[in-house]
Structure 1
Amino acid sequence: MTLSRRTLLKSVGLAGAGLAVPSLGQMALAAPMAPAPVLHQFRLGDAVITALLDGHLSLPSGMFTGADPETVAQTLAGTFYREDAQGLEIPVNGYLVERAGQYTLIDTGTAALMGPELGGLMGALAATGVTPDQISTILLTHMHPDHAGGLLNADGSAAFPNAELVVADAEWGFWHDDAIMASVDEGSRGFFQMARNAVAPYADRMKPFSGEAEVAAGFSAMPLPGHTPGHSGFMLDAGSEQLLFWGDVVHSTALQFRNPDWTIPFDADQSLAAQTRKAMFDRAVADQLLVTGMHLDFPGLGRVERDGGAYAFDQAPWQFGL
């Protein structure tokens, strides 16, 4: 299933919250077959990190708030990015981190929620030889279905039977707020229900956090609000090196480094999302941070650089072997 512009632009206002989210009711369709496994492993300090590709979705450039055809054409000119009739291809990534025999998964992909071009993360995980019961911790950047959908098996049971689920208090609270859910239109309530369903089997082993806190051995949280109220990144301290998993700070590598003010309807608070993105870019440049993200071009590892009055992403070369 390719996400249509109509589906993506069906956004709603959340009364009293100053937020908006699009309906995902049309996305809750079973995928007949997941993509072939795609993964990439690399070593960073004392950690082995595996980028797991869940698949891709297509987003039309016209859905980005602030985008205009002329600026889009100028941004894409001279690059390898091409927009077809469905839009620009946007990857959905998850990351497995192994340290001292312990496995942490950062986001879980879509499972069968968003169509046949997605849902490949579990197959990629299987290709590593790591089984779901070996995952001890899941760090959830936020509760959108392309990040939390893979928490469930097809029968609704927990896909990771031994994992502690780490999610921001603000994120959990937002999606479980009955008043907010009641204030949106009926179609958009499915978005809330999917989020609730995804985390329900983990309620008795959920570890909440707020602010910049240590959330697991070697991991600290970084609040990055705007995309959702509790949207968070996670900084890995791998001994000699660090890596920030920044979630959905960027949805389009092709467009948003050059145009950091451009947002999408999935950003609950679009102004705050743009503010957070630019602040994160500035910090990444100043601190020469190594970053990765769930929608950066797979495998998504690199550094942010200044490019005149805008920014650019310097993708790390593919690493062969460990």
Structure 2
Amino acid sequence: MTTTRRDFIKKTAAVAASIMMSPLPVWARNSLSLGELQIDTLHDGHLVLPGDFILGPMPQEELLPILQRYHLSRKSLSPECNMTLIRDGERTILFDVGSGSGFQPTAGKGLEALEALDLEPDDVTHVVFTHAHPDHLWGLLDDFDDPMFPNATHMIGKTEWDYWMDPNTVNTIDASRTAFAVGAQRRLEVIEDAITFFKDDEEILPGIASRATFGHTPGHMSFEVRSGTDSVMIVGDAIGNHHVAFERPQWQSGSDQDMEIAAKARTMLLDRIATEKMQLIGFHLPNGGLGRAEKTSDGYRFIEEDAS
């Protein structure tokens, strides 16, 4: 019997797990039903970021009491990472692919998350990207630089694709993110002949529509998932945390590539989610990322929901 590269990776992972002699973590965090759709959030681990990466541009005196309310350090933040999986009986759709093994050691747990749901990469029929930052894209390839999801149709906004595939991006992006540009282009080139593009306000799959939330990256997309009168907004990094992004969405965040445009997109998105009483799933929101946005006198509040 021929041993494929993917078989080799699976066997290696199994050996490592047996050596550790520890049970498989339950990486699937939240589950909910939306009509005929089954939606799960999959925990990909967490990041460790210097506080300035997000908080640097903000008014520091006004920021401090917010951080104190959430028991957060100004020096370092550790946002979790949540991929979203949707199954409709025909399709298994994964939104973003996590960090893989090449970004931060605390992240890249996506394969364990799938295994917790008795799924393998070969079961995924569609991969949809919110954007192409490392923690959302670098899990695209396996350790042999082959596509991790070989049977999937890969989908990305055309504006986002054009930005990362532009050879000038590596020279024009902030110097601290040069590796982001190099890594994105190297990975996206592998699926260049098999990618499907979409634009704003398109129904990219049945019941799933793209919503432009540019700013975090030049082509960042959120996705409205709807069944009848019920809906969920997959916001990616358009709403990047559960504290300042909600309480002061108009503040510029250092994590956004175009901070001004991103702040406008975040404010618009929160207003719609709160007004329409939609559920939302955020890639970096806590405990699986599922919740709602509640309007307050001077901002919004993240209301966490545990639907599992």
TM-score tier by shorter-chain length is 0.7 to 0.9
Partner of 2:116: 127
**Aligned partner (choices 209, 213, 216) of residue 220 of structure 1:** 209
RMSD over aligned Cα atoms: 2.3
Deviations 1:239-274, CA, capped at 9 Å, x for gaps: 452111011012221222112123333311100000
Report the more deviating stretch, 156-165 or 37-46.
37-46
In structure 2, list runs of 5 or more residues that go unmatched. 1-15, 18-23
1:291-310 aligned within 5 A: 291-310=280-299
CA distance, structure 2, for counterparts of residue 167 and residue 48 of structure 1: 22
One-letter amino acid of the counterpart of residue 38, structure 2: V
Query: Does the 8 A contact of 1:36 with 1:120 survive in 2?
Result: no
Partner of 2:58: 67
**Aligned partner (choices 288, 294, 314) of residue 277 of structure 2:** 288
Query: Does the 8 A contact of 2:101 with 2:108 survive in 1?
Result: yes
Query: Does the 8 A contact of 2:220 with 2:238 survive in 1?
Result: no
Deviations 1:272-301, CA, capped at 9 Å, x for gaps: 000110111111122112111111112111
Partner of 2:47: 57
Partner of 2:13: none
One-letter amino acid of the counterpart of residue 288, structure 1: K
CA distance, structure 2, for counterparts of residue 172 and residue 38 of structure 1: 29
Residue 178 of structure 1: SS of its match in structure 2? Answer: coil
Aligned pair 1:259/2:248, yes or no? yes
Structure 1 residue 187, shift from structure 2 partner:
6.7
Residue 268 of structure 1: SS of its match in structure 2? Answer: coil
Partner of 1:103: 92
CA distance, structure 2, for counterparts of residue 285 and residue 182 of structure 1: 39
Partner of 1:246: 235
**Aligned partner (choices 60, 63, 71) of residue 82 of structure 1:** 71
CA distance, structure 2, for counterparts of residue 37 and residue 155 of structure 1: 27
CA distance, structure 2, for counterparts of residue 287 and residue 247 of structure 1: 19
Structure 1 residue 120, shift from structure 2 partner:
0.8
Identity among equivalent positions (%) equals: 28
Query: Does the 8 A contact of 1:104 with 1:137 survive in 2?
Result: yes
TM-score by length of 2: 0.85
Structure 1 residue 237, shift from structure 2 partner:
1.9
TM-score by length of 1: 0.82
Query: Does the 8 A contact of 2:94 with 2:128 survive in 1?
Result: yes
**Aligned partner (choices 142, 151, 160) of residue 153 of structure 1:** 142
Q: Going by fraction, where is helix more abundant, 1 or 2? A: 2
Residue 243 of structure 2: SS of its match in structure 1? Answer: helix
Structure 1 residue 310, shift from structure 2 partner:
1.1
Partner of 1:190: 179
One-letter amino acid of the counterpart of residue 256, structure 1: A
Aligned residue pair count: 286
Query: Does the 8 A contact of 1:164 with 1:202 survive in 2?
Result: no
Residue 67 of structure 1: SS of its match in structure 2? Answer: coil
Residue 149 of structure 2: SS of its match in structure 1? Answer: coil
Partner of 1:319: 307
Partner of 1:272: 261
Report the more deviating stretch, 211-220 or 38-47.
38-47
